[in-house]
């Protein structure tokens, strides 16, 4: 068994919505257009010269993009860095085999041309080209047409408070569906976790998204129904393939992702609140293990991959860190086949998806609850082992 304890700084991204006047919006749009044309030029240069390192690329491209596109020094540097990052991602994907084997059509296509950026692709801003006036709820932001002052922004009270207290580093300027946003990074120091009195085990699944060792099950029924509805609509729209259908499709996809994120937030919050209230830590299965462990028929697999376990785990992780609740990750093997009473492991302990019934001691329980109890006790053992010294 192995364990991993959470780190001590929590990084989050907070989104605020900008409320630019029509003139301000036009200046922002012209700016994104310019930086992305510049990025495409740098990407082509990098591709031509097979030069993908920030430092080298700056030598080749910096003066040209500054002069040709009217960019400020920082903006030019961000453009070059953005291109390097895009190539690094591409190369990692190629190395990881995510675009197929060498020689496969998809891979050949990806390797044959420079990376490219949409006219309104997001652009990073640092503190020299973007400043925040939290009291007035405005930002001052560099554009190709000069510095825009007093651009209003809005967001949830919780986010605005976090932003004012903990914002650090870069923010991305993002345009989506004709709306403008800033994605700002914040760093929240976590409360040192108190020594937990026992662990709340959490089993992540499909029929039930999250089941705790206390026996609380969060059903995925409503969610899965929404997903199926969306998928049916998606298929109809895809068949149409018109421009407006494509646009609608894109909007639906975002709506679905937002819905999933909202649900994950709610579930994560309930779990963390319960652990905090009872002085326990939280034990989760190793997230990497989940996809490997679950082998399913195809229709279900779509749901699983669409559903973001990773996101739910991440939400639990940072909410727990902020509340000073310890989180421990445990080895996920056989949590569903092991008896949480006597420890007996047998595939036949699971006569069907929902039932656990021990062939050795006769203990019976809902299968997910039994698994969550195993996760909880592995968390306890793991904590004891890692804190023995
Ligand atoms: Zn048993």
CA–centroid distance, residue 270 to ligand 1 (Å): 30
> 345: CA distance to ligand 1 center in Å?
8
CA 34 – ligand 1 centroid, Å = 66
Look at residue 302 in the predicted model and tell me its pLDDT.
Answer: 44
pLDDT score for 10: 66
| Cα 358 to ligand 1 centre (Å) | 5
How close is the Cα of 334 to the center of ligand 1, in Å?
A: 14
pLDDT of residue 6: 44
How far, CA to CA in Å, does 269 sit from each of 211, 250, 309, 379? 14, 29, 15, 20
CB 374 within 8 A of CB 199: no
The torsion of the CA quartet 358, 362, 367, 372, rounded to 10 degrees, works out to: -90
Distance 356 CA to ligand 1 centre (A): 10
**C-alpha dist (Å) from residue 249 to 233, 253, 260:** 9, 6, 17
> Using CA atoms in the order 25, 27, 33, 38, what is the torsion angle rounded to 10 degrees?
-150
Q: 381 C-alpha vs ligand 1 centroid, how far in Å?
A: 19
Of these residues, 190, 256, 276, 285, which one is catalytic?
Answer: 285
Judge whether 285 counts as a catalytic residue. yes
Digit-by-digit pLDDT tens for the chain (389 residues) are: 343 444 456 677 888 999 999 999 999 999 999 999 999 999 999 999 998 988 889 988 999 998 899 898 999 999 999 999 999 888 888 887 778 788 888 888 888 999 999 999 999 999 999 999 999 999 999 999 999 999 999 998 878 888 998 888 889 999 988 999 999 988 877 666 667 899 999 998 777 789 999 999 887 777 777 777 777 887 888 788 788 888 888 888 788 778 888 888 889 999 999 999 999 999 998 755 444 444 444 444 444 444 567 778 888 888 888 888 888 888 888 899 999 999 999 999 999 888 999 999 999 999 999 999 999 999 999 888 777 65
How far, in Å, is the centroid of ligand 1 from the Cα of 95? 45
**pTM as predicted:** 0.60
Per-residue pLDDT, 253: 78
Structure tokens at 16: 């605020």
CA–CA dist 315, 332 (Å, integer): 19
**Distance (Å) from CA 357 to ligand 1 centroid:** 8
| 127 assigned to active site | no
Cβ–Cβ under 8 Å, residues 281 and 375: no
The alpha carbon of 348 and the centre of ligand 1 are apart by a number of angstroms equal to: 12
CA 346 to ligand 1 centroid distance, Å: 10
Ligand 1 centroid from CA 361, angstroms: 4
Which pLDDT score is estimated for 319?
A: 87
Given 203, 208, 256, 380, the catalytic residue: 203
341 CA to centre of ligand 1 in angstroms: 5
129, 72 Cβ separation under 8 angstroms = yes
Residues 6+ apart with CB under 8 A from 171: 124, 125, 130, 182, 183, 184, 185
Catalytic residue (choose from 190, 256, 365, 368): 368
- Whether 56 is catalytic is no
How many Cα atoms sit within 13 Å of 51 on the Cβ side?
A: 15
């Amino acid at each position: 068994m192995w364990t991993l304890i959470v780190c001590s700084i929590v990084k989050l991204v907070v989104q605020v919505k900008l409320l630019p006047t029509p003139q301000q919006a036009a200046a922002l749009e012209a700016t994104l257009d310019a930086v992305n044309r510049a990025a495409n030029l740098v990407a082509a240069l990098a591709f031509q010269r097979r030069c993908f390192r920030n430092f080298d690329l700056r030598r080749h491209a910096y003066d040209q993009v500054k002069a040709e596109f009217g960019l400020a020094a920082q903006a030019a540097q961000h453009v070059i860095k953005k291109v390097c990052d895009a190539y690094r991602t591409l190369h990692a994907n190629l190395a990881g085999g995510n675009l197929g084997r060498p020689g496969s059509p998809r891979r050949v296509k990806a390797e044959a041309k420079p990376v490219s950026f949409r006219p309104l692709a997001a652009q990073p801003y640092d503190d020299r080209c973007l400043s925040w006036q939290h009291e007035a709820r405005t930002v001052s932001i560099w554009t190709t047409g000069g510095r825009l002052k007093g651009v209003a922004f809005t967001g949830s009270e919780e986010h605005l408070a976090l932003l004012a207290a903990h914002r650090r580093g870069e923010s991305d300027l993002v345009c989506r569906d004709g709306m403008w946003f800033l994605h700002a990074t914040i760093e929240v120091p976590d409360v040192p976790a108190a020594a937990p009195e026992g662990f709340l085990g959490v089993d992540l699944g499909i029929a039930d998204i999250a089941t705790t060792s206390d026996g609380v099950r969060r059903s995925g029924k409503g969610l899965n129904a929404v997903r199926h509805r969306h998928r049916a609509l998606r298929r109809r729209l895809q068949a149409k393939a018109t421009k407006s259908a494509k646009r609608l499709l894109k909007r639906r996809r975002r709506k679905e992702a937002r819905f999933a994120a909202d649900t994950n937030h709610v579930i994560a919050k309930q779990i963390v609140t319960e652990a905090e209230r009872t002085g326990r830590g939280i034990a989760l299965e190793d997230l990497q293990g989940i996809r490997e462990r679950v082998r399913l028929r195809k229709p279900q697999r779509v749901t699983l991959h669409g559903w973001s376990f990773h996101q739910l785990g991440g939400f639990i992780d940072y909410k727990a860190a902020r509340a000073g609740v310890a989180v421990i990750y445990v080895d996920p093997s056989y949590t569903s086949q092991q008896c949480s009473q006597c420890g007996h492991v047998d595939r036949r302990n699971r006569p069907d998806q929902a039932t656990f019934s021990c062939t050795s001691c006769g203990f019976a329980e809902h299968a997910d609850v039994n698994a969550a109890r195993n996760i909880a006790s592995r968390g306890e053992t793991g904590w004891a082992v890692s804190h023995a010294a």
